[in-house]
Amino acid sequence: MHVDLRDSFRTADTIDVRGSRHRIHRITDVAPPDLPYSLKIVLESLLRHEDGVTVTAAQIESLLSWGSPGSAAVDLHAARVFLHDTNGVPVLADLAAMRDAAAAFGADASAVNPSIPAELVVDHSVIADVFGRPDAAVRNVEIEYTRNAERYRFLRWGQQALRGFTVVPPGTGIMHQVNLEHLARVVMTHDGWAYPDICLGTDSHTTMVNGLGVLGWGIGGIEAEAVMLGQSLSMPLPRVVGVRLHGALPEGSTATDLVLTITELMRRHGVVGAFVEFSGPGVAALSLADRATIANMSPEFGSTCAYFPIDDETLRYLRFTGRSDDHVALVEVYAKEQGLWHQPDQPPRYSETIELHLDTVVPSLAGPRRPQDRVPLDRAQASLLDSVAGATRAPITLAGAEHEIGHGAVAIAAITSCTNTSNPEVMVAAALLARNAVRRGLRSQPWVKTSLSPGSRVVTDYFDKAGLTPYLEQLGFHLTGYGCMTCIGASGPLIDEVSAAVHEHDLSVVSVLSGNRNFDGRINPDVRLNYLASPPLVVAYALAGTMDIDLTTDPLGTGTDGEPVHLRDIWPSTREVREVIDGTLDAAMFTRAYADVFTGDERWRALDSADGATFLWDEDSTYVRRPPYFDDLTADPLAVRDIRGARALVKLGDSVTTDHLSPAGAIPPHTPAGRYLTELGVRRFDLNTYASRRGNHEVMMRGTLANVRLRNHLVPGVEGGTTLDFTDGEAKPVYDAAMSYRSAGVPLLILAGRDYGAGSSRDWAAKGPALLGVKAVLAESFERIHRSNLIGMAILPLQFLEGDTADSLGLTGHETFHVIGLADARPGAFPATATVLADDRRFDVAVRLDTVREQEYYQHGGILHYVLRSMISARR
């Protein structure tokens, strides 16, 4: 904490909890009683960090008058930073490079350290290569360590070299479930203070912990590095959308159906960049797991967070997951003293309020390409038929038996992701449905790749204790590993014969997964249509083997008694699910699962790792290389200049996601990245995924804008990472074109439509374009996290003025662009608009540097340059 902190509002006080005194800043002394719960937490951060420089009394006054015109930006301080391995490795690589740069400027390299707790969970690297057999999980972990040992050794170096940096090793679970079940404090304590657990993470689904009463959301890996190093997060005060819940879920509807309904509702209402906060009598009808399931999908709403206030259910869950009685008592006392305890009959004052009656929720899926496109179960077949043309059929031979598949065949059925595997209600429902199906004689269809990837070891513990594991395994849902797996595109290859049929007959096959993302090209490059569903529906579609079926009326198959078996015949009741949960889950399961959470297995402990304050880079490494961001660092920032003579690297449409922009999925051998690795002697089987190689900028540059489903209007009719190179007029891979422009000294920009950068908080969606030479993105609108990441990499976000689009202005992307009006701008005096000259067209655009801090980052050439210069300056 700062030594010169102020207390202008005289809120410093103490509370007593079981005989222990804790210092607090009493929110209720100054906050209006009807201030939203989430903003009270922001207010506490401001009160505790008021120093008159970064956090000022004016910022606090602005928050206290929230909702009035002209509210200013505020500087939020996180309590901790949360990372996963695929973002964590490049974060660590950047910190290691910062240590090198600090040493080069004569500063102490070891001073580059997290100033708040930084916790990393290794969960994004394991791939569902092996499935449907008893040793699937063991084999996948062996392959994971073979592929990723170099990265894991690097993480171990970071754990010993950086103070306050801890790593949860592979095989423990998905980061958000580990956060919910073990790491989240709800109320933090440090140096005698008690304060809210504000958790900012490098994964957009960090919001899952909102279900536990923890305020937090996803930020880019670039921002996370700065926050780790003591920087505040500058943010405009958001609008807060209240969702009042009433009633309870009806029989047959699950938390998954509820969250897909809410996602559709929120997208229709429009909550991009807003805080969403749940309250009302219906909140008490939702278990903590249900709340977490909803909060997890906040990025799919487009909101910054989806907050549930603290109540008795929060305390019950903390006890249930093995938190100490003293800590649970602290959470209760603190929340009640600070006005953070949920009062369902006293709703806060919201920007807008939406009413939702839980009893209206029906069984649903979402797809085939976006999580907000909810499809009621009785319309799922029609949704498929709307997405495919014709009735192509293809013969395949599997294990000596002849089969036929067509459009809509289920190629992947995966119980996966943080969203649903954290929820015992839907997981037990899936296992009971599997039991009932097996007892009636049903089996999964042989062309379906089935997988079970739980979020934590507790899931398999209660499956085993309930005796349900054998039934899942008889349907092919053997444990494949404890990690994200299929949900993040680590689905592994399809069954060979199915993949061959897809390519030979141009089949549109389907994945059904209990995940949170189903964007084009994300799940598997051979799968065009992807549907999100509850775990029991995943099992049901594995039995059916096709989406071309109405599960509400058509039979799943024929039982051993010769009678048709319908979904309704094997669907477990809510009472049955609850009986299994009550009879199997207990606090001891969580205590055992997390007893040695940072120790890891024998493989982890056996990894040899370097020591020392700076990292010894291996120039031959294909996984971890020193990033080039600080190669030309000057002691002082250079003057801001206009962008002149730029060409469009790509011209994109609406809803382009970070999955389209960032390297994702497996690395195909025929791509620039695949060729680069092959030329270095990497075998085809060892090419691995882009996620695993995020610590190698050479690979990531070559995979940027290379998604197989990318549609670039500069090359109409072509799908994939191809563009038109205006230096020679040829169509070529985006990376190759960018290198031609670099040789010619030509700056680049990207043209785009609405919602540019939707989806995961992928830092490489900004880092990759920056390394390719992109200086600006001109779009109709930006998703929040990605806009911040662009600024963090000194890419200028420019937004068309209301009513303007690339098409309305007649822009084809073939023009030469000049962005003028920026020269010599200074933080606090940046222009709100700039002028773009595109050949003979001239128009104004908004400069989306929304706060003075963002302007500072841009002037310095990026957020890391700003932080490093600040550290070096402080030690001169």
Asked if the structure places residue 251 within a domain, the reply is: yes
Report the alpha-carbon distance of residue 247 to residue 58 in Å, rounded.
42
For the chain, helix (H) and strand (E) counts, in that order, are 30, 34
Work out the number of other CB atoms within 10 angstroms of the CB of residue 599. Answer: 11
Terminal Cα-to-Cα distance of the chain (whole angstroms) = 21
Question: Would you say 38 and 216 are in contact if contact means Cβ atoms under 8 Å apart?
Answer: no
Question: Would you say 261 and 361 are in contact if contact means Cβ atoms under 8 Å apart?
Answer: yes
**Cα angle, residue 293 at apex, residues 291 and 299 outer, rounded to 5°:** 110
Q: Which one of 326, 360, 394 terminates a domain?
A: 360
Asked if the structure places residue 737 within a domain, the reply is: yes
Output the six-digit token pair for 575. Answer: 């009472």
137-146 contacts at long range (C-beta below 8 A, 24 or more positions apart): 137/478, 137/479, 137/480, 137/481, 137/482, 140/480, 140/481, 141/170, 141/171, 141/481, 141/603, 144/170, 144/481, 145/170, 145/603
Sequence-ordered strand ranges (E) for 293-400: 305-307, 352-357, 364-366, 374-376, 393-398
Shared domain for 376 and 263, answered yes or no, is no
DSSP run (H or E) holding 857: helix 852-859
Question: Would you say 220 and 785 are in contact if contact means Cβ atoms under 8 Å apart?
Answer: yes
Output the six-digit token pair for 811. Answer: 């822009």
Asked if the structure places residue 66 within a domain, the reply is: no
Shared domain for 276 and 160, answered yes or no, is yes
Work out the number of other CB atoms within 10 angstroms of the CB of residue 259. Answer: 32
Report the alpha-carbon distance of residue 98 to residue 429 in Å, rounded.
49
Q: Per-residue b/e over 35-44, b at no fewer than 16 CB within 10 Å? A: bbbbbbbbbb
Output the six-digit token pair for 774. Answer: 């992109």
Output the six-digit token pair for 11. Answer: 């809120």
Asked if the structure places residue 691 within a domain, the reply is: no
pLDDT digits (tens, 9 = 90+) for 297-321: 999 999 999 999 999 999 999 999 9
Asked if the structure places residue 698 within a domain, the reply is: no
Give the pLDDT confidence score for residue 188 in this predicted structure. Answer: 98
Report the alpha-carbon distance of residue 130 to residue 136 in Å, rounded.
5
Q: At what angle do helices 784-792 and 764-772 cross, to 10 degrees?
A: 40
DSSP run (H or E) holding 855: helix 852-859
Shared domain for 454 and 345, answered yes or no, is no
Q: Which one of 585, 608, 628 terminates a domain?
A: 585
pLDDT digits (tens, 9 = 90+) for 139-161: 999 999 998 888 999 999 999 99
Number of domains forming the structure of the chain = 3
Asked if the structure places residue 398 within a domain, the reply is: yes
Report the alpha-carbon distance of residue 134 to residue 89 in Å, rounded.
31
Shared domain for 321 and 437, answered yes or no, is no
Shared domain for 347 and 404, answered yes or no, is no
Which amino acid is it at 709? R
Shared domain for 438 and 408, answered yes or no, is yes
Report the alpha-carbon distance of residue 831 to residue 280 in Å, rounded.
43
Give the Å distances, CA to CA, from 583 to 38, 420, 576, 586, 589: 35, 21, 11, 9, 13
Asked if the structure places residue 695 within a domain, the reply is: no
Question: Would you say 836 and 819 are in contact if contact means Cβ atoms under 8 Å apart?
Answer: yes
Give the pLDDT confidence score for residue 3 in this predicted structure. Answer: 47
Give the pLDDT confidence score for residue 392 in this predicted structure. Answer: 87
Give the Å distances, CA to CA, from 501 to 235, 451, 509: 50, 21, 10
Report the alpha-carbon distance of residue 418 to residue 197 in Å, rounded.
20
Shared domain for 141 and 271, answered yes or no, is yes
Output the six-digit token pair for 535. Answer: 């775990």
Strand, coil or helix: what is 774?
strand
Give the pLDDT confidence score for residue 783 in this predicted structure. Answer: 87
Percent of the chain with pLDDT over 70: 99
The DSSP code for 684 is G
Strand, coil or helix: what is 789?
helix
Give the pLDDT confidence score for residue 784 in this predicted structure. Answer: 79
Question: Would you say 292 and 211 are in contact if contact means Cβ atoms under 8 Å apart?
Answer: yes
Shared domain for 537 and 491, answered yes or no, is yes
Give the pLDDT confidence score for residue 875 in this predicted structure. Answer: 62
Give the pairing type, strands 275-279 and 305-307: parallel
Give the pLDDT confidence score for residue 547 in this predicted structure. Answer: 97
Give the pLDDT confidence score for residue 2 in this predicted structure. Answer: 40
Shared domain for 322 and 427, answered yes or no, is no
Asked if the structure places residue 692 within a domain, the reply is: no
Shared domain for 401 and 340, answered yes or no, is no
Indicate which CATH number applies to the domain containing 489.
3.30.499.10
Report the alpha-carbon distance of residue 37 to residue 41 in Å, rounded.
7
Shared domain for 534 and 653, answered yes or no, is no
Tokens 């699962």, residue?
A: 593
Shared domain for 368 and 517, answered yes or no, is yes
Stretches in the chain below the pLDDT threshold 70: 1-3, 70-71, 761, 874-876
Give the pairing type, strands 564-565 and 557-558: antiparallel
Domain with 766 in it = 643-662+704-859
Output the six-digit token pair for 588. Answer: 């001891």
Give the pLDDT confidence score for residue 876 in this predicted structure. Answer: 55
Q: Which one of 360, 379, 412 terminates a domain?
A: 360
